[in-house]
Structure 1
Amino acid sequence: MDARNGHVSRYSKGMIVIHWVTAVLIVAAWFTAEGGRHVVANPPLLHFSLGLAVLALTVPRLILRVVGQTPPPPDERRAWMALAAKIGHAVLYAFLIGLPLSGWYAASRLGVPVSFFGISLPTIAAPVQGAPGMIADIHENAGTVILYLAGLHALIAGWHHIVLRDGTLRRMSPL
């Protein structure tokens, strides 16, 4: 926040929309998740579509970040806070990319056809008879981990807003 005029640098409208839609999609994907080999008989098609929508939104989100659609951090930030924010965002982006891809991989290993809102997608791994492997196990656990990370992200934003009063939360506010 610019202390002289109280102005808060905001994210672009596109980044704000993508951020909040992604948050909703992650929660919805978690609630529609099913694990184990029984997904072969009854594939969670909505879960697949929601997860792949997260991946689809992550691409333009990264592009907007690269082309400068993110505001600079508040001037009063300490160096360690800026570094922590970069690491935290990198971890979240790794999950936003890794979770959908690992889910697609696990479904392929199970021999389950994957579709994105009715559009059939190719398999990305050969089907197996036994357990789909470690990537599938990681996918199941990482789905819960990303919820914890998102919660921590929200708590830190709240801390910035309530304790530091630096305008960080308002930068991503849809209002």
Structure 2
Amino acid sequence: MTTDVVRAPEVVSALLARGETLATAESLTAGQLAATVVDVPGASAVLRGGLIVYAVDLKASLAGVPEDLLAERGPVDPDVARALARGARERCGATWGIGTTGVAGPEPHGGSPAGTVYVGLAGPYGDVAERLALPGDRAAVRAGTVTAALALLLSALR
């Protein structure tokens, strides 16, 4: 059993106990985070929805990431991760929002090496971003991102 499978039930349980909800805005994970949460029975009571914003223009138009931020720094940036999380939270009307952005590989992108990932979390107490340097192929980087995102939310819920 992988770590994300272990953490997803804990996240759903903690959100249920608090009467809180979650939304996602995912780039490199392309819905994998929301799908991991939905695999848990009871998730329908806590997962409001999610945005898959793989293309840069959709990060702005769907998730509300400022266009000037994307133009100045590119999509792989901690402030973009925070903005994605805020956008998910606001657009889906959730207590918590998680945003994922990064380079799954195998090639670098925009000056960032493969495995460079930012996970953003927005909630009632503000927002944060965590930088990850994940090893492995595309699947490993994406799975590691999901695990880290769930861990970040779980730490905020405790």
Same fold (TM over 0.5): no
TM-score normalized with structure 1 length: 0.25
TM-score normalized with structure 2 length: 0.27
Q: Which has the larger strand fraction?
A: 2
**Structure label with greater radius of gyration:** 1
Which one has more relative contact order, counting CA pairs under 8 Å at least 6 apart? 1
